[in-house]
Amino acid sequence: MKKRRILLIIILLLVIGIIWIVEPVSLNPFSKVEIPRTESITDINCEGSAFTLDGDLEERANDTINKYINSNSFLGVTAGLYVENCLTYTGGAGFTSKRGQKRADSDMLGRIASITKPMTAVAIMQLYEKGMLDLDEPIQTYLPEYPKKPKGDISIRQLLKHTSGVNHYSSNWDALSFTHYPTLIKALDAFKDNELEFEPGTQFLYSSYGYTLLGAIIEKVSQMSYGEYMQKNIWDKANMSHTSLEEDKKYEKKSRLYLKVKSTFIKSPKTDLSVIYSAGGVQSTVGDLLKFGEAVLNNKLIDSTSLDMMINATDELAPAIGDDPYGFGWAVYDHPEYGKIIQHSGSQPGTSSFLAIYLDHRVVSVVMSNSFGSGRNAFRLSRKLAAIALE
């Protein structure tokens, strides 16, 4: 009798777990209800602009997003385009919540994951412009808490370019953190005793922990928390009114977190991002990310000389392992048709995102989705939306 009771409890817990994760399969909106098509907002004023845009741009952009939603590429997605002195377009389709069947729109708030990295890199360059740090000094100059390593000293420049030797996650499971750290300096405890993967400056290894170190340096040098510094010096200056660190509280318009497993979207556990706040702990909207791109283009955050330093990938090491050339916080790509593009993807539980700035054409393209596992589609959708403006 006792064994039967225990077995029933186990079965009940399994059923509850399946319902919690899948919400359940029967609530997959793509099999039960009409999929919300794209709703968009477009502000066009191209007088005096070099751009000549077709009158059906909004319709073509909406149709492009709808094709991705109809093919089950995303559960919910928002996307946007900015063309300097001409146009801002934002659109959203699909669902922010399977259980509540809430539709996604341009105001959907979500994780941006590693798109945080170029923001952190811009913050470092602001401090560099003010003479508050040296890019080539050993990081212990600013962070004595981080122990010296036998394989050599690490510089801020190497952290920015992912050539420091600081380790990244060992697996997708290793990326899941449920521990909260009150500051990024305290978050160093999670990895500061790990040995370097190689001698600094000799190889490329993408490392979110390396950008945690950069965030801790920002805290030490500015004497502000990372969130306070970013709010005052990045987000406020770029008029990004819906951008913040993700904290443990409720947010209006915040999407739920999902994982894409083949054709099914399952609920993701809510991970704690405080160990990588400066590498991937920011939440935002598609409109705010367009404003960030605009601020970069118009030197609202750093001057053109600093931006040139950030996008100089002539001495980078990334191609040795097949990655895009990497500058300071940006992947740098020379497109045969569209010219120089600086870009960054983002991927973690609850999001696949992509931001691209077309420097030669003064265009920004953004895609944010609410599911891990849709990264390739976020990249492709971003490129296709940009092509509509650049044709």
Q: How many domains does the chain have?
A: 2
Q: Is residue 315 part of a domain?
A: yes
Q: Is residue 62 part of a domain?
A: yes
Shared domain check, 93 and 26: yes
**145 Cβ partners below 8 Å, 6+ apart?**
185, 188, 192, 216
CA distance 355 to 369: 12
Shared domain check, 90 and 186: no
Shared domain check, 188 and 95: no
The angle subtended at Cα 226 by Cα 189 and Cα 168, nearest 5°, is: 45
pLDDT, tens only, 69-128: 999 999 999 999 999 999 999 999 999 998 888 999 999 999 999 999 999 999 999 999
Give burial (CB, 10 Å; 0-12/13-18/19+) of 3: exposed
pLDDT above 70 covers a percentage of the chain that reads 87
Q: Is residue 242 part of a domain?
A: no
For 4-13, 148-157, 372-381, which range has the lowest pLDDT when averaged over its residues?
Answer: 4-13
Q: What is the pLDDT of residue 3?
A: 56
Q: Is residue 256 part of a domain?
A: yes
Q: What is the pLDDT of residue 321?
A: 54
Q: Is residue 298 part of a domain?
A: yes
pLDDT, tens only, 234-258: 999 999 999 999 998 889 899 999 9
Bridge partners for 90 per DSSP: 41, 80
Instruction: Report the CATH number at residue 209.
Output: 3.40.710.10
pLDDT, tens only, 301-319: 999 999 999 999 877 676 6
Shared domain check, 81 and 170: no
Shared domain check, 363 and 258: yes
51: Cα within 13 Å, side-chain hemisphere: 22
In this prediction, residues 383-388 reach a mean pLDDT of 96
Q: What is the pLDDT of residue 232?
A: 98
Shared domain check, 343 and 264: yes
Cβ(189)–Cβ(116) below 8 Å: no
Provide the phi-psi class of 72: left if phi over 0, else alpha when psi is between -120 and 50, else beta: left
pLDDT, tens only, 127-150: 999 999 999 999 999 999 999 999
pLDDT, tens only, 24-64: 555 666 666 778 899 999 998 887 666 666 668 999 999 99
Q: Which domain holds residue 215?
A: 118-229
Provide the phi-psi class of 92: left if phi over 0, else alpha when psi is between -120 and 50, else beta: beta
Shared domain check, 51 and 127: no
Give the number of other Cβ atoms within 10 Å of residue 318's Cβ.
21
Q: Is residue 64 part of a domain?
A: yes
